[in-house]
Amino acid sequence: LNQQRKLELEITTREDDPAAKHVFGRTINSDVEDQRTYLKVQEWLQTCTTQHTACLSHVHASGLRPTFLLDLSPSKVPTGTIRLHRVEGHHLGYAALSYCWGTDQPRATTKSNLEEYLYSIETFLLPQSIQDAVTVTQKLMLRYLWVDSLCIIQDSDEHKIHEIGRMESIYSNAYVTISAAYAETCNSGFLGVREFPKLSFDMPFCAESGEVGRITVTPDSDDLDYRLPPAPIDARAWTFQESFMSPRMLIFSKYQLFWVCGEEWGKDGGKGTRKQYLQNELSSRVMRTPETSDWPKIIKDFSSRRLTNSFDKLPALSSIASYFARHTNDIYLAGLWASALLEQLCWTSDCEIRPPTWRAPSWSFMSVDGNI
């Protein structure tokens, strides 16, 4: 008794419905591959790449390129295949994929299959998330795609080190980064028909002009997303710097597609764009000169994420460290900065588990596994 419950309802309609003249919100399309979705994405990309000063300036000055890209051009490979393309100096517009491996990838590039992959790779044999990334890239009219498992020779330590050193430029120079946020493994995929909670209903809408359309009434889409568990991609350490360095991101969430760049954010339906985590995502993007005072927040987020191989902790943060060093002229000391060393030495961890193999000096948080 005397308990109050608040339920916010969202009223939306389709873009081509007569009710669209009177209803601001747009109904989320259940098919993420619908052509209207990609027209919206093209609109976001066009605005960003022609009008956003911050995004246009967010390019790695060194001009380093990845060694390999996936060439998706149907004129260059047999039907149903793609191929590895060796990048030779000139700039190529490409998308980059940010995703969770979650399992071994038997179709990854190795020394033994490199020559074969330079000729062709059968797309249907690839993990579903990579197949979906190929589809998205092609629908965005881009020819090239960067995926770590295929564009880095996985059994070559020399090539891994070489490409990890370029990770900052790989993501900062990508035309767009595709984030498979809710794909738990590389086999999960992120396209297809969305299954919304069965809490919505349609009803007729009669305009003063006499036109009759249809509207959809549903619980607020922001509230629905707040009830979702954390995105699997946000628990992976490697994807932290991928997101941080990307000037533009398409985030494939469970129920919606989100857009984030250096100056704005959006989504493919609903009544607005007040998504809190997108505000946080936007505010954390590298679109201003970084300061050492930003570092504790970065470390708090990074240290809460998982690594399959704990020895990757330093490399998984190396791109962001490189970016900070380039802009601050500070000295990087195994996870800390010389100009704020005394302050940054005052870290504590909720679980000081040290790896069996030495990874970093004991005075650095990089020497322990646990939240900082």
The domain boundary, picked from 288, 314, 333, lies at 288
Residue 2 forms part of a structural domain: no
Residue 362 forms part of a structural domain: yes
Do 175 and 110 share a structural domain? yes
Type of residue found at 91: H
Residue 190 forms part of a structural domain: yes
* Selection from 313, 341, 337, 343 nearest residue 325 by Cα: 337
Do 209 and 68 share a structural domain? yes
The domain boundary, picked from 270, 288, 306, lies at 288
Do 337 and 312 share a structural domain? yes
Average pLDDT over every residue of 329-342:
94
Q: Which of 162-176, 271-285, 348-362 has the lowest mean pLDDT?
A: 271-285
Residue 3 forms part of a structural domain: no
- CA dist 124 and 132 (Å) reads 10
Token pair, residue 12, equals 């939306």
Q: Could you tell me how many helices (H) and strands (E) the chain has, helices first?
A: 13, 15
Do 361 and 343 share a structural domain? yes
Residue 327 forms part of a structural domain: yes
Residue 337 forms part of a structural domain: yes
Q: Which of 106-120, 136-150, 217-231 has the lowest mean pLDDT?
A: 217-231
Dihedral (Cα; 76, 79, 85, 91), 10-degree rounding: 60
Do 32 and 141 share a structural domain? yes
pLDDT digits (tens, 9 = 90+) for 9-53: 777 777 778 877 777 777 677 777 778 888 889 999 999 989 888
Q: How far is CA 255 from CA 9, 106, 182, 227, in A?
A: 16, 30, 10, 12
- CA dist 311 and 206 (Å) reads 63
pLDDT band at 273 (very low <50, low <70, confident <90, very high): very low
Do 276 and 258 share a structural domain? yes
Do 191 and 145 share a structural domain? yes
Do 119 and 25 share a structural domain? yes
- CA dist 134 and 137 (Å) reads 5
The pTM assigned to this predicted structure is: 0.85
Token pair, residue 110, equals 């190795």
pLDDT digits (tens, 9 = 90+) for 42-94: 999 999 989 888 787 766 555 678 999 999 987 766 778 999 999 987 778 99
* Selection from 281, 209, 221 nearest residue 255 by Cα: 221
Residue 266 forms part of a structural domain: yes
CB 175 within 8 A of CB 93: yes
* Selection from 147, 149, 150 nearest residue 178 by Cα: 147
Do 354 and 256 share a structural domain? no
What pLDDT is recorded for position 286? 46
- Percentage of the chain exceeding pLDDT 70: 85
Helix axes 313-328, 295-303, angle to 10 degrees: 170
What pLDDT is recorded for position 60? 55
Do 351 and 304 share a structural domain? yes
Do 365 and 278 share a structural domain? no
Domain count, the chain: 2
Helix or strand or coil: residue 372? Answer: coil
Residue 204 forms part of a structural domain: yes
Token pair, residue 203, equals 């009803």
* Selection from 167, 179, 141 nearest residue 49 by Cα: 141
* 64 CB-near residues (< 8 Å, 6+ apart): 166, 169, 170
CB 145 within 8 A of CB 133: yes
* 170 CB-near residues (< 8 Å, 6+ apart): 64, 65, 66, 96, 146, 163
Q: Which residues pair with 98 in a beta bridge?
A: 179
Q: Which residues pair with 173 in a beta bridge?
A: none
CB 72 within 8 A of CB 137: yes
In the chain, helix, strand, coil percent, each to 5?
35, 20, 45
CB 177 within 8 A of CB 98: yes
The domain boundary, picked from 288, 315, 345, lies at 288
Domain that holds residue 167: 8-288
Do 112 and 44 share a structural domain? yes
pLDDT band at 2 (very low <50, low <70, confident <90, very high): low
